[in-house]
Chain A
Amino acid sequence: GESVGLHLPTLSVQEGDNSIINCAYSNSASDYFIWYKQESGKGPQFIIDIRSNMDKRQGQRVTVLLNKTVKHLSLQIAATQPGDSAVYFCAEKQTDSWGKFQFGAGTQVVVTP
């Protein structure tokens, strides 16, 4: 059933350290994945995406890894900064779906000085 008020897992990271955020996705038919960052009171902000024909993709300070065998996605943030504090969501979609992304529950990242 639906949960009322998700209790988000929290990742506490020291400034300058690397962060790893994990996501288990549900649909083996999903072939497009996005990581979004959401700051309090704001909309989801695109970070990086990956398609199922890849297992790794790098951006600026971020790397996404995809393991289709175990349906697992991870986001690595290098040299975490205070501005990285936010909730991070993974989102999955099938190619033939018209923008119907399924979002994960999210992980709260707290960067400490």
Chain B
Amino acid sequence: EPEVTQTPSHQVTQMGQEVILRCVPISNHLYFYWYRQILGQKVEFLVSFYNNEISEKSEIFDDQFSVERPDGSNFTLKIRSTKLEDSAMYFCASSSGTGNTIYFGEGSWLTVV
């Protein structure tokens, strides 16, 4: 069964460093998303992406965050200057349409120290 894959599974970074989280969405999907889950809290929407541009973003997704689809398969989330409160599990997801089910990857656990 097709799945969303994410790398790295776990990354530890120092505060102020840049981090790039990578995702390979399901191959025939056109809509891509990033969500995050701080330990013990709800899954929160960050951003949705379609046709090489952001279609919607939450208040969490400030200027420190950016997304990119650098080639035909990868979808990345960049955090420019990490803060302690960025420590969370980051989930990539994709869907075939805006009204359709979104499928999540296994997550990238980011620890900022």
Contacts and interface: CB of A to CB of B under 8 A. Distances in A.
A6 B101 contact: no
Contact of B43 (A2, A5, A32, A44): A44
Interface in A67-113: 89, 91, 95-106
A42 B9 CA distance: 10
B107 A98 contact: no
Contact of A98 (B42, B56, B101): B56
Nearest to A102: B45
Which interface class (under 10, 10 to 19, 20 to 34, 35 or more) fits A?
20 to 34
A100 B45 contact: yes
B50 A98 contact: yes
A103 B40 contact: no
B112 interface: no
The secondary-structure label for the interface of chain A is loop
A34 B104 contact: no
B64 interface: no
B104 A43 contact: yes
B106 interface: yes
Nearest to A97: B56
B41 A3 contact: yes
Nearest to B40: A5
Given A45-B104, A98-B48, A99-B48, 18 more contacts: A5-B39, A6-B42, A34-B102, A41-B109, A43-B107, A46-B101, A49-B101, A95-B98, A95-B99, A98-B50, A98-B55, A99-B33, A99-B93, A100-B45, A100-B58, A102-B45, A103-B42, A106-B42
